[in-house]
Structure 1
Amino acid sequence: MRNQNFRALMVSSTSGVLGNAVAAVALPIIAAVELDASNFEVAALAGMTFLPWLLFGLVIGVWVDRLPRKPVMLASLAVRVIVLALLPVGYWLGFLSTPLLFGAAFVAGITSVFFQLADAALVQQAITPDELMEGNGLITGSGAAADAAGRSAAGWLTSAAGASNTLVVQLATSIVSLVAIQRLDVAEVVQPQSDRRVLREMYEGLRYTFSTAPLRAILFNAALWNLGGNIAASLIVLLVLRTLGESEVWLGLLLAAASVGGAVGGVTANWMGERFGSGPLWRWSMVPGVFGYASLLIITPGWGMAWGILGMFAMGASVAWNIVVGSSFRQRVCPPGMMGRLGAASRTVSWGMLALASLLAGIFAETLGIREAILIGVVIACTAPLVALLGPLRGVRRLEDLVEAPAADSRLGASKST
């Protein structure tokens, strides 16, 4: 925390998460309540911010490695402010529509790809390798706390002021992020300019992502979790507002519970990693998360929502532990000039699943029913901890010990089918 650059990145990340949390609640409510969109449209909307990872993540990763990261982050934030400002303006002037909502979410997702890849690369350069677990834990914890505040406040604000008007909060937090990033003073490590083709550099990023057993296991674990978990997460708005007939306030509390769990998980991840080992923490982290999403299947109106709040708290803590360990390991092993491409390749696979999950959630909700679709998501999410518990990292106590072990892949018995 004495590191000025780390403080700037933490303030930027936390304020950005606060605004994104408000938008994450407001956007589907705009679709469901103000625009009366179908179940498919409400569920699919959640995937629009992640679809750019699937379509453009690899090529943007190459650009981020070729460019200074600070200007990339400033430009992406500026574009995001302009795009999201169209939604409340459209509501006030009467031209807000479902296509505009989807288009704004998609463009905002593109800016998020640029911002998050550049941000991850700068965190790696702002602190030492031994500080990565603690630093990522602090960023994850503060971000989760901001997420909890944003989601709970958004539930009340959308009910009191309208979902579209609530987006003004997101615009204000983006400006705070801009100011924080402007204060960064990092001697950046940027890939030297070359005549190599973009496709070749994209391939290098993919090859590096799948090059070792630890990187592959972390990637497959995240991808399976995102596919199953986001099917359930994409349907929470429909479950609360349409199936249970509850208010936006209960919706905000349910979503905030996951973020409070994430805050607890983020600030305890470093201690738990030292106490139990980063390997066991990563392997078991998703088990409580599965039960957390399963709690959505038993919630009922009124105080029956409490089961969901407890379950989502457990899910949030699980995800935070998993993210801190996995992202810290990637940042520890990856050369600075490769960080953008590694982040792009891994998130293209894992976060691309978030976009696919939202589309599947919409299809399942329309054809099978909302609760049945959530059940499918929970079953798929169960495969994520199985990859961790039964995969090549099942006997590793400290993932950090694999960093300097070039022969780790062969010792762990890795194979292409892992």
Structure 2
Amino acid sequence: MTQARTPQGGESSSLWRNGSFVRLYLASILISLAFQMTSLGLPLVIYQLTNSALDMAAIRSLQFIPTIVLAFLIGALIDRLPKRLPMLAAVAVQALALALLYVLLARMGGMNWLSYAVVMVFFASNYWFINAQNVVIKTSLPQSLLTSANASIGAAARTFEMLSALMTGFLIYFASFEAAILVPAALVLAALVALLALHPVEPPPRMREPLSQSLKQGWQAFWHNKGLVHLSIVAALANATEGVFALTALFWARDGLHLNEAEVGALVACASAGGFAGSVVTPALRRRFGMGGLLSGSLVAMGVAQAVGFLYGVTPMFVAMVVSQFASSVLSVCVWTLRQELTPADMVGRVTGITGAAFKVAMPVALGLGGLASGMFGAPLVLLLCGVLSVVVGIYAIFNRHLSNSV
């Protein structure tokens, strides 16, 4: 496995002198906020219009489908095409999808097959942007700045997890459902304007093989890189335990600890603040512990924190959620950065697609099993089980030479 260079202390400042990254970062901020508002607000809007929990759950589940089903194909297309125009098109499609969804909901007062299709297009185009963003970061920055770049974007995403909940609730309660859709559309349009000045580094032109051959090459590049394979296993299991923990913790806070909506919201905001702090300090932690030590250590810390949720009380739950989010953010930055460092520039789109699907593939099943187990055995036991499994995954990473040797 190719070992990654450790970023040096003075290099992070040069990140903000890179014009391509600054423009991409600004656009990423706007799109992240729009996506968080939409993913949170759209199910609430649908429930308000239809009073159907099934429609609400269906909208939520649509977020996973583009990543799992279309990620590999999207990645292959991104590797074949120039980066700038398809990225602009993906952002424009997001804005158009939100505008069309507003029209459909306003006229029909509910969901139909066309509305679901538009939502799918929105999530697919958002994933296209995320994949292309990953490629642009890889090709526009030296390897020594990748950790700082991913940490900066991760910190922004965690910040908007807090802001989006407040903004969406305010818009739906004090304004209307139209505002909860049109405001994200306006944010996406602002991101499009920011991206107009982006001119990313393009790989040299070369003869294009058939799409089927390109897909095959992407799969071979992934499968023969054992570091990426083991990283995908770790990320898939960690995402599954984190997803089950987050959902179960919210249920237990409301149903078991009897917190009201405002108190639950404050708890989630504090957890997001922990996630923000984790993203900010990741570059410094990597310089201290190395990539392998930080990756495995964050998994173990996340597991221990999740297990604390087994203890009854608001304080243990607060500690569990804040610390687990801190560790989860550190882990996310490690995973994103290591994936970029291990992948050749001409394969980033395809490998990002494959690993993106692999990272999420266990989540639907895990969430279903977690809900079933909570009903049968109680939420505290599920929280404890999430913690134990996360620690086991961390131990696996410690003794895995493909991951533990990365610097």
Query: TM-score, normalised to structure 2's length?
Result: 0.83
Question: Relative to 1, partners in 2 of residues 1:64 and 1:327: Cα closer, same or farther, differing over 3 Å?
Answer: same
- 2:400 aligns with one of 386, 393, 413: 393
The reply on whether 1:199 has 2:206 as its aligned counterpart is no
Q: Secondary structure at the match of 1:187?
A: coil
Tell me the amino acid that sits aligned with residue 393 of structure 1.
Answer: N
Question: Relative to 1, partners in 2 of residues 1:165 and 1:233: Cα closer, same or farther, differing over 3 Å?
Answer: farther
The CA distance in 2 between the partners of 1:295 and 1:45, in whole Å, is 32
Cα deviation digits, residues 244-266 of structure 1 (max 9, x gap): 88766555444433432222111
Tell me the amino acid that sits aligned with residue 395 of structure 2.
Answer: L
Question: Relative to 1, partners in 2 of residues 1:35 and 1:245: Cα closer, same or farther, differing over 3 Å?
Answer: farther
Counterpart for residue 369 of structure 1: 375
The reply on whether 1:284 has 2:293 as its aligned counterpart is no
CA displacement at 1:184 relative to structure 2: 0.9
Counterpart for residue 189 of structure 1: 203
CA displacement at 1:66 relative to structure 2: 0.2
Counterpart for residue 325 of structure 1: 334
Counterpart for residue 17 of structure 2: 2
Cα deviation digits, residues 317-368 of structure 1 (max 9, x gap): 222211212221221232111000110110111123345545x26xx64796
Question: Relative to 1, partners in 2 of residues 1:153 and 1:349: Cα closer, same or farther, differing over 3 Å?
Answer: same
Tell me the amino acid that sits aligned with residue 406 of structure 2.
Answer: L
Question: Relative to 1, partners in 2 of residues 1:294 and 1:389: Cα closer, same or farther, differing over 3 Å?
Answer: closer
Question: Relative to 1, partners in 2 of residues 1:179 and 1:321: Cα closer, same or farther, differing over 3 Å?
Answer: same
Q: Which runs of 5+ in 2 are unaligned?
A: 1-15
Counterpart for residue 4 of structure 2: none
Tell me the amino acid that sits aligned with residue 282 of structure 2.
Answer: A
CA displacement at 1:134 relative to structure 2: 1.4
Cα deviation digits, residues 179-235 of structure 1 (max 9, x gap): 222111223116634233x33322322232232342222111111122233244456
Cα deviation digits, residues 166-189 of structure 1 (max 9, x gap): 233311221122122211122311
The reply on whether 1:25 has 2:40 as its aligned counterpart is yes
Question: Relative to 1, partners in 2 of residues 1:272 and 1:185: Cα closer, same or farther, differing over 3 Å?
Answer: same
Conserved in 2, the CA contact under 8 Å of 1:80 and 1:108?
yes
The reply on whether 1:130 has 2:136 as its aligned counterpart is no
The CA distance in 1 between the partners of 2:20 and 2:376, in whole Å, is 45
Counterpart for residue 6 of structure 2: none
Conserved in 1, the CA contact under 8 Å of 2:87 and 2:129?
yes
The CA distance in 2 between the partners of 1:292 and 1:386, in whole Å, is 14
Stretch of structure 1 that moved more, 122-131 or 158-167: 158-167
Identity across matched positions, percent: 22
Stretch of structure 1 that moved more, 177-186 or 147-156: 147-156
The CA distance in 1 between the partners of 2:300 and 2:243, in whole Å, is 16
Cα deviation digits, residues 287-324 of structure 1 (max 9, x gap): 34345556777788xxx4x6545433323222221121
Counterpart for residue 410 of structure 1: none
Cα deviation digits, residues 371-391 of structure 1 (max 9, x gap): 847855763574344233234
The CA distance in 1 between the partners of 2:359 and 2:294, in whole Å, is 20
Q: Secondary structure at the match of 2:26?
A: helix
The reply on whether 1:171 has 2:185 as its aligned counterpart is yes
Conserved in 2, the CA contact under 8 Å of 1:230 and 1:377?
no
Tell me the amino acid that sits aligned with residue 76 of structure 1.
Answer: A
- 1:68 aligns with one of 77, 82, 86: 82
Counterpart for residue 347 of structure 1: 356
Question: Relative to 1, partners in 2 of residues 1:394 and 1:334: Cα closer, same or farther, differing over 3 Å?
Answer: closer
Q: Secondary structure at the match of 1:199?
A: helix
Q: Secondary structure at the match of 2:362?
A: helix
Counterpart for residue 36 of structure 1: 51
Q: Which runs of 5+ in 1 are unaligned?
A: 401-418
The reply on whether 1:312 has 2:326 as its aligned counterpart is no
